[in-house]
Amino acid sequence: MKLSEIKEFDKNYFMNTFGERTPVAFEKGEGMYLYTNEGEKYLDMFAGIAVNALGYNHKEFTKAIEEQVGKLLHTSSLYYIESQALLAKKLVELSCADKIYFANSGAEANEGAIKLAKIYFYKKGIEKYEVISLKSSFHGRTLATVAATGQEKYQKPYYPLIPGFKQVEINDIEALKAAITDKTCAILLEPVQGESGVHPVEDEYIKEVRRICDEKEIILIFDEIQTGIGRCGKMFCYETLGVEPDIFTLAKALGNGIPIGAVCAKQFVADAFAPGDHGGTFGGNPLATKAGLAVLEAIEKENLCDNAEKMGNYIVSEIEEKLGDKVKEIRHKGLMIGIELKEAAADTRKKLFEKKILVGAVGNTLRVLPPLIIGKEEADEFIKALGEVL
């Protein structure tokens, strides 16, 4: 189909929740590049919003899911599922978690994490149900995750929100202490805030948050939906911080494009979920969990955590050196990069698109979240284009 036809159908038949889309439709992808059906080639520095960690048409990943498609897609969790058990085992071996629950998206994983924190205290007969999260955070679009998301623009149309949620400024320990009550059951935060423009928590802050949670018996939940699976230079971002959460959530890159989410929890809190307390039809189905296994295997085999660290540092140091006078600030952890410009970033994003390079933009910040397979050549292509545009 021609782009003009797709646009017409989209306008007439699809609910417009994304506004004016970037005017392109992709047909296929290979490595770091996406192609239109007219053969135009785009360098993808946004990875489908931090999803396509392995880039496009990754050989082993494609083979693994193709094989699974030919065998079995779904049975429901009424029956045992080999790849589900194997992926849960793998995530436990790789992380501080002892038990895993699979969902289908990031928001759904966060819903599960919030429910788990709440039911933990409910089953202990302790009346704790409040959740504190951070301003400028993003945790998803379901009603509970919107209530946790500290951005009024996402919350306002859905007032009254689910009660029991409040937000405080990032890296302000006094504000957090002041918000805690004897009803606080959980603190939920992203180790690096993504959607609002790449804002990392400070090391001292997060250590103090952990200490307070231990002291006051509060469940610490990390939303690693964007930071997890290698993006920040380690398999999970919490590993870079020197603290462990009680629960963390994953989605996005865990499926490399096949929808999956995960609630990963320490034993003491995971035990709170008993049969019937939570569930879903699709979560952890054979295809999604096979995809997750193939992703983790490729990340380990190809040292993509190290590559994220190395290439993140390379991109940032090159931009600082070559374009330092043109940008206000660069914030990053691994390949989660926010380039704050001196003016609104949407225009620069558009100009990069015209040069066939895809990035994200929020406020004055360009969001750069390339596939973790990025090499020096593609990084240089991006830096050169950014220099020309700026």
Question: Where on the chain is the footprint of ligand PLP (CB under 6 A)?
Answer: 49, 105-107, 110, 138-140, 190, 194-195, 223, 225-226, 251
Q: Minimum CB separation from ligand PLP for residue 162, in Å?
A: 16
Q: Minimum CB separation from ligand PLP for residue 259, in Å?
A: 8
Closest to ligand PLP by CB, 251 or 357: 251
Q: What are the structure tokens assigned to 85, written together?
A: 């058990």
Closest to ligand PLP by CB, 224 or 309: 224
**Of 372, 383, 366, 373, which is closest to residue 315 (Cα–Cα)?**
383
Cα(first)–Cα(last) distance of the chain, in Å?
34
Q: Minimum CB separation from ligand PLP for residue 365, in Å?
A: 14
**Of 98, 96, 79, which is closest to residue 271 (Cα–Cα)?**
98
Q: Minimum CB separation from ligand PLP for residue 226, in Å?
A: 4
Closest to ligand PLP by CB, 112 or 286: 112
Q: Minimum CB separation from ligand PLP for residue 2, in Å?
A: 29
Closest to ligand PLP by CB, 117 or 389: 117
Closest to ligand PLP by CB, 106 or 312: 106
Q: Minimum CB separation from ligand PLP for residue 138, in Å?
A: 5
Q: Which residue is nearest to ligand PLP (CB)?
A: 106
Number of H helices, E strands in the chain: 14, 17
Closest to ligand PLP by CB, 19 or 275: 19
Q: Minimum CB separation from ligand PLP for residue 229, in Å?
A: 12
Residues 6+ apart with CB under 8 A from 239: none
Residues 6+ apart with CB under 8 A from 51: 252, 253, 255, 256, 257
Taking the C-alpha atoms of residue 119 and residue 50, their distance in angstroms, rounded to an integer, is: 31
Closest to ligand PLP by CB, 230 or 390: 230
Phi-psi region of 181 (alpha: psi -120 to 50; beta: other; left: phi over 0): beta
**Of 129, 134, 111, 119, which is closest to residue 209 (Cα–Cα)?**
134
Taking the C-alpha atoms of residue 211 and residue 274, their distance in angstroms, rounded to an integer, is: 29
Closest to ligand PLP by CB, 128 or 333: 333
Q: Minimum CB separation from ligand PLP for residue 246, in Å?
A: 17
Answer for the pair 328, 366: CB distance below 8 angstroms, yes or no. no
Using alpha carbons, list the distances in angstroms from residue 95 to 234, 236, 300: 11, 8, 14
DSSP 22: P
What type of residue is 306? Answer: D
